[in-house]
Structures are given as structure tokens and as C-alpha cells.
């Protein structure tokens, strides 16, 4: 073994020129060149970084959700649980990022808000994809992505496929519960009303957790993810109120009023509804 090879083996190579380096591997030049404020406003850098960090975490959430959906389908529930637990931890990061953005005051934001034109969070396709993978089925939300065919197709594909909740319900059916056929064989692109039959099944699982431990754990992992999702929505709404009050949004909505109505949406209604009845 040459002297250089021995050094590499010990992890102390001194010659980095033609080897993979930290910056190359992480594409840091690209990553750190991606903060290009449109104004000289000091706080615009914070605004850009917060959004970029959120999009990076959303990317990981999509990656983990797609894994979890596939693993539930093949009854590898342990791997799906691990992915769902990781998603919850990532969501904690997303939620605490609002604390950083809250250091921006209304007057700070108004120094560059005009430059944002009509762009808004409505155009975050990763956020929309996460909602769709969790089970949201509101076709109107695809509209802002029509001009980007590849992204639109990805959203459409997820829109027509079973969500994580649809797959969880199929796991429950395969475990022997009498899930109505119309919940299993259905047009997954349609939202469905809350199902009393499904609530009864979750009630049975929650009343005998030891007997159905895997399903009970699955349900609680899902509740954790929705709980965190709602916390994110709430912190977004409150941060927006704190920064722009009740001004209308750049995306054309009423602003805070719209964000408050989004708080009423639930991905897994039966899992929340049964809690009163236990
Ligand atoms: C100063 C900070 C922010 C303000 C004032 C703000 C304001 C708004 C408003 C008013 C809306 C409604 C759409 C509209 O009419 O514009 C909206 C939607 C949205 N915003 Fe923000 N936002 C801020 C920061 C963020 C950040 C950091 C993210 C993270 C990626 C984000 C993601 C979203 C998403 C995903 C939506 C769509 C929500 C839905 O359809 O339910 N926003 N935002
Ligand atoms: N909707 C915001 C603008 C906004 O927040 C925004 C603009 C451009 C890129 C990302 C944004 N963030 C999320 O809504 C506003 O009405 O001030």
C-alpha cells in the first residue's frame, strides 16, 4: 500500500484535489448561491432562507411519506412507522422555524413585500403534494401548477392514487376488520364523507389496544402527523396575522381569514371523532 493509500485508509488524505469534498458532495456552491434578494432590504435574506429551509424539509417529508405509503401497501408496517416517526420530528423543525420568522416586524416586511408581486405559498407544490399524500382532495389547489406540466402531472398522479390514510384503512381490512367495500374500492381522487363504519372499527381498536397493537400504533402515528400539520398551519396563520394583520394575500385570498378556514380541514376525521366516544 502506498503512503497516500495508507493515509486515505486512515481518513487523513491530504490531497483533496481530485477527491469528493464536503462542498462538492453537498452542492454548497449551488445551495448558497440561491439566496438572491430582489431588494436591499436586510430582512429579505431571512424571508428567502426560511422558505428554502421549509422547502428542503418538505422534500424530505415527501420522500418519507412515499416510502411509508409503499410499505403500508406491502404490510411492512414497522418500516412505515419509522418513516412516520421521522416525519413528526421534521414537522417539529418546520413549526419552530416560525419563531425565527417572527423576529421580522410588519415594517421590515413591508420594505420588500411589493416586490413579491402575486407570488405566494399557493404555489408551493411540495406543500400541496404533502397534503395530497395525506389525503386532501381539493382539485382547485392544482390550478396554480397548471403552467408547469411535470409538476402538475406529479400532483395529478398522487391525486388519483391512494393516500396514506387509504393505505392504512387497507391494512386494517387485511388484519380482519370488516371495512366496507366502498372505502377500499373507490375513486381515490374523490374526497369521501366521514364514515361511521370506519369510526366503529377504530373504536374497537382503541378499546383493546393490546389486542390490536400494530393498528393502534399506526393510528397514533397518523394522529401525530396531523397534529403537527395543524400546529404548522396555526403558527403560519398567527405569524401572518402578526406581520400583515388582515391585509389580503398576494395570492389573491382574504389572507388570515382564508388561513383560519384551512385549520378546519382534517385528513383523518374518524381518528379525531372517536376520541369523544371512548
Ligand atoms: C411574512 C411571512 C408570510 C406571510 C405574510 C404569508 C402569507 C400568506 C397568505 C396571506 C397566504 C394565503 C394565500 C394568499 O392569498 O397569498 C399564504 C399561503 C401559504 N403560505 Fe404563507 N406567508 C408567509 C410565510 C410563509 C412561509 C415561510 C411558508 C413556508 C413555506 C409559507 C407557506 C404557505 C403555504 C404553503 C400557503 C398555502 C396554504 C394553503 O393553501 O392552505 N408561507 N401565506
Ligand atoms: N402571501 C404573502 C406573500 C408570501 O408569503 C410569499 C411570497 C412569495 C413567496 C413565498 C411567500 N410565502 C408564503 O406564502 C403576502 O400576502 O404577503
H helix runs in the chain, sequence order:
3-9, 22-25, 28-32, 44-73, 77-101, 106-110, 125-134, 149-160, 164-174, 181-184, 196-207, 213-244, 256-262, 269-277
Residue 51 marked ligand-binding: yes
pTM of the predicted model as reported, rounded to 2 decimal places? 0.94
For residues 150 and 223, membership in a common domain is answered with yes
SS3 assignment, position 234: helix
**Whole-number Cα distances in Å, 128 to 82, 136, 138, 145, 156:** 23, 9, 10, 10, 11
Residue 103 marked ligand-binding: no
Does the C-beta of 61 come closer than 6 Å to ligand 1? no
Residue 160 marked ligand-binding: no
Position 176 scores a pLDDT of 98
Residue 47 marked ligand-binding: yes
**Whole-number Cα distances in Å, 13 to 4, 92, 166:** 7, 38, 51
For residues 149 and 269, membership in a common domain is answered with yes
What is the sign of the dihedral through the CA atoms of 15, 20, 21 and 22?
negative
Binning pLDDT at 50, 70 and 90, where does residue 12 land? low
Mean pLDDT over the full length of the chain: 95
Enumerate residues lining ligand 2, CB below 6 A: 51, 113, 116, 119-121, 244, 249-251
Position 204 scores a pLDDT of 98
CATH number of domain containing 134: 1.20.58.480
For residues 20 and 142, membership in a common domain is answered with no
C-alpha to C-alpha distance for 66 and 72, rounded to whole angstroms: 10
For residues 162 and 100, membership in a common domain is answered with yes
Considering only CA atoms, which of 112, 90, 109, 89 is closest in space to residue 39? 112
User: Could you read off the pLDDT of 255-276 as tens digits, one per residue?
Assistant: 999 999 999 999 999 999 999 9
Structural domain for 1, as ranges? 1-33
For residues 137 and 267, membership in a common domain is answered with yes
For residues 5 and 142, membership in a common domain is answered with no
Does the C-beta of 70 come closer than 6 Å to ligand 1? no
C-alpha to C-alpha distance for 241 and 217, rounded to whole angstroms: 36
For residue 121, report the distance from its CA to the centre of ligand 1, in Å: 4
Does the C-beta of 109 come closer than 6 Å to ligand 1? yes
**Whole-number Cα distances in Å, 104 to 92, 100, 237, 266:** 21, 8, 15, 30
**Residue 6: pLDDT over 80:** no
**Residue 13: pLDDT over 60:** no
Q: Say if 41 falls within a structural domain.
A: no
Q: Say if 67 falls within a structural domain.
A: yes
For residues 160 and 225, membership in a common domain is answered with yes
Query: For 178, what's the count of Cα atoms within 13 Å in the CB-facing half-sphere?
Result: 3
User: Could you read off the pLDDT of 146-198 as tens digits, one per residue?
Assistant: 999 999 999 999 999 999 999 999 999 999 999 999 999 999 999 999 999 99
C-alpha to C-alpha distance for 110 and 85, rounded to whole angstroms: 38
- DSSP-derived secondary structure letter, 247: P
103 burial level (CB within 10 Å; 0-12, 13-18, 19+): exposed
Q: What percent of the chain is modeled with pLDDT above 90?
A: 93
Q: Say if 38 falls within a structural domain.
A: no
Position 17 scores a pLDDT of 59
C-alpha to C-alpha distance for 195 and 203, rounded to whole angstroms: 12
Q: Is the CB of residue 90 less than 8 Å from the CB of residue 61?
A: yes
User: Could you read off the pLDDT of 93-135 as tens digits, one per residue?
Assistant: 999 999 999 999 999 999 999 999 999 999 999 999 999 999 9
User: How many structural domains compose the chain?
Assistant: 2
69 burial level (CB within 10 Å; 0-12, 13-18, 19+): buried
Q: Say if 85 falls within a structural domain.
A: yes
For residue 38, report the distance from its CA to the centre of ligand 2, in Å: 14
Residue 239 marked ligand-binding: no
Does the C-beta of 144 come closer than 6 Å to ligand 1? no
Q: Say if 138 falls within a structural domain.
A: yes
Binning pLDDT at 50, 70 and 90, where does residue 19 land? confident
C-alpha to C-alpha distance for 163 and 265, rounded to whole angstroms: 16
For residue 66, report the distance from its CA to the centre of ligand 1, in Å: 24
**Residue 201: pLDDT over 90:** yes
Q: Say if 61 falls within a structural domain.
A: yes
For residues 55 and 187, membership in a common domain is answered with yes
For residues 111 and 6, membership in a common domain is answered with no
Does the C-beta of 54 come closer than 6 Å to ligand 1? yes
Residue 109 marked ligand-binding: yes
The DSSP line for 188-202 is TTS-----HHHHHHH
22 burial level (CB within 10 Å; 0-12, 13-18, 19+): exposed
Q: Say if 40 falls within a structural domain.
A: no
Q: Say if 39 falls within a structural domain.
A: no
Position 251 scores a pLDDT of 97
For residues 15 and 136, membership in a common domain is answered with no
Q: How far out from the chain centre does Cα 154 lie?
A: 15
For residue 224, report the distance from its CA to the centre of ligand 1, in Å: 23
For residues 29 and 87, membership in a common domain is answered with no
Ligand 2 pocket test target in 121, 237, 254 with most atoms within 8 Å of CB? 121
For residues 2 and 109, membership in a common domain is answered with no
Amino acid at each position: 500500500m502506498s503512503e497516500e493509500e495508507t493515509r486515505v485508509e486512515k481518513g487523513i488524505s491530504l490531497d483533496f484535489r481530485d477527491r469528493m469534498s464536503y462542498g462538492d458532495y453537498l452542492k454548497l456552491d449551488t445551495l448558497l448561491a440561491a439566496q438572491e434578494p430582489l431588494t436591499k432590504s436586510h430582512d429579505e435574506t431571512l424571508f428567502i432562507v426560511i422558505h428554502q429551509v421549509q422547502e428542503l424539509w418538505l422534500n424530505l417529508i415527501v420522500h418519507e411519506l412515499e416510502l411509508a405509503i409503499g410499505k403500508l401497501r406491502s404490510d411492512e408496517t414497522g418500516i412505515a412507522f419509522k418513516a412516520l416517526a421521522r416525519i413528526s420530528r421534521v414537522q417539529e423543525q418546520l413549526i419552530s422555524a416560525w419563531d425565527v420568522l417572527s423576529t421580522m416586524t410588519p415594517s421590515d416586511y413591508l420594505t420588500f413585500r411589493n416586490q413579491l408581486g402575486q407570488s405566494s405559498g399557493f404555489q408551493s407544490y411540495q406543500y400541496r403534494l404533502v397534503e395530497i399524500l395525506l389525503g386532501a382532495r381539493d382539485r382547485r389547489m392544482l390550478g396554480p401548477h397548471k403552467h408547469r406540466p411535470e409538476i402538475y402531472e406529479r400532483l395529478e398522479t398522487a391525486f388519483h392514487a391512494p393516500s396514506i390514510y387509504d393505505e392504512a384503512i387497507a391494512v386494517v381490512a387485511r388484519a380482519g376488520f370488516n371495512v366496507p367495500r366502498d372505502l377500499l374500492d373507490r375513486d381515490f381522487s374523490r374526497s369521501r364523507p366521514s364514515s361511521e363504519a370506519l369510526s366503529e372499527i377504530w373504536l374497537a381498536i382503541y378499546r383493546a389496544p393490546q389486542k390490536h397493537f400494530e393498528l393502534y400504533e399506526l393510528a397514533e402515528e397518523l394522529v401525530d402527523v396531523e397534529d403537527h400539520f395543524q400546529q404548522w398551519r396555526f403558527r403560519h396563520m398567527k405569524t401572518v396575522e402578526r406581520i400583515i394583520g388582515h391585509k389580503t394575500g398576494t395570492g389573491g385570498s382574504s389572507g388570515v381569514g382564508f388561513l383560519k378556514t384551512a385549520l378546519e380541514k382534517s385528513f383523518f376525521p374518524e381518528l379525531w371523532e372517536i376520541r369523544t366516544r371512548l
